[in-house]
Chain A
């Protein structure tokens, strides 16, 4: 199997990841491999989508669509890139479409603000005071607003760089742009975030 996932990428033969192997097994009809992929990537995909659209219900709905598309594409799957590149390309595409369609805002009207459902990281003491909690919530809200204010592509680039720890080259493949364009996107995004969040130090 490992021989099969070696593919030619821009002239250089590269051995692909274990996820691609699993996906090739899904292609051969192995449902258990799809379960493994889901187990491994469920949380990163949902969390990425949540930070993109900032609504948990919408994020889960979009994540369902991501995995559904992965499953639907199993018969035509070819491991020409890292599995996560493909996965996050689908996720980013769906998130950007959702943001452009304004579906998120319409749903937001119907759903309660889920910012209160977010886990609160305890600052120093194991049992933070009410005041500490309030301060933390206010700071968190500020972070959310600062990220939401970023242009969509910059936001996607920052989230992949910060939370998924992707390399510039992989982000470039996900966003279908050059590596230098990604560096530029990130530089501008962090510049904006520094201006808005530096006082939080």
Chain B
């Protein structure tokens, strides 16, 4: 058998042996090896001492109110929303409907106030142009169009009669 102490990977076998986790066959091989290997014997003996020393170190039992304290913290966390709403709760219970109605009215008022503010700004330039046109201006423009039409028909008539 190759000496387990030579490599860290093989030392795992010695650790397993000292913690009694090594299978029977490997234990027998290792014990035969340890009979002729003082380094491994020393390792195993030292490791067993460490194991026993650690065994002696017992932790104190958990305090009796551990669960109670934990559940209290869980309850406290779970009810943070309730805590936040607590000051408003009596008001909400007694005057829920009037508050809801008031809130609805506020929302509607907001919508109505918003609407006229945006309407006129878009429509204003068109209506301003329409207002600026006077009836006499329209009449004058129609007269001018009529004169131009007459003039062009005469010009066409002169061009058609070569004798003139």
The secondary structure that dominates the A interface is helix
- Judge if A1 is at the interface, Cβ distance under 8 Å: no
Number of contact residues on B: which range applies?
A: 20 to 34
- In Å, the complex CA distance between A67 and B12 comes to 33
Contact, CB under 8 Å: A200 / B69:
no
Contact, CB under 8 Å: A190 / B50:
yes
Interchain Cβ contacts within 8 Å, total number: 99
Contact, CB under 8 Å: A67 / B8:
no
Neighbouring A residues of B48 by C-beta, 8 Å: 201
Instruction: Type the 1/0 row for A97-124, where 1 means its CB is closer than 8 Å to any CB of B.
Output: 0000000000000000010011101000
Contact, CB under 8 Å: A139 / B53:
yes
- In Å, the complex CA distance between A200 and B45 comes to 11
Neighbouring B residues of A201 by C-beta, 8 Å: 45-46, 48-49, 52
- In Å, the complex CA distance between A73 and B56 comes to 36
A2-10, A17-25, A44-52, A79-87: which lies at the B interface?
A: A44-52
Instruction: Type the 1/0 row for A178-201, where 1 means its CB is closer than 8 Å to any CB of B.
Output: 001001101100100110011111
Contact, CB under 8 Å: B47 / A64:
no
Neighbouring A residues of B15 by C-beta, 8 Å: 186-187, 190
Contact, CB under 8 Å: A198 / B46:
yes
Contact, CB under 8 Å: B59 / A71:
no
B27-35, B60-68, B136-144, B149-157: which lies at the A interface?
A: B60-68
Instruction: Show 29 A/B contacts (Cβ-Cβ < 8 Å), sorted by A.
Output: A38-B67, A42-B62, A42-B66, A43-B61, A46-B59, A46-B62, A56-B60, A60-B66, A68-B73, A68-B77, A117-B60, A119-B60, A119-B61, A121-B56, A121-B58, A140-B57, A143-B56, A144-B57, A147-B54, A158-B54, A187-B8, A190-B15, A190-B47, A193-B53, A194-B47, A200-B52, A201-B45, A201-B48, A201-B49
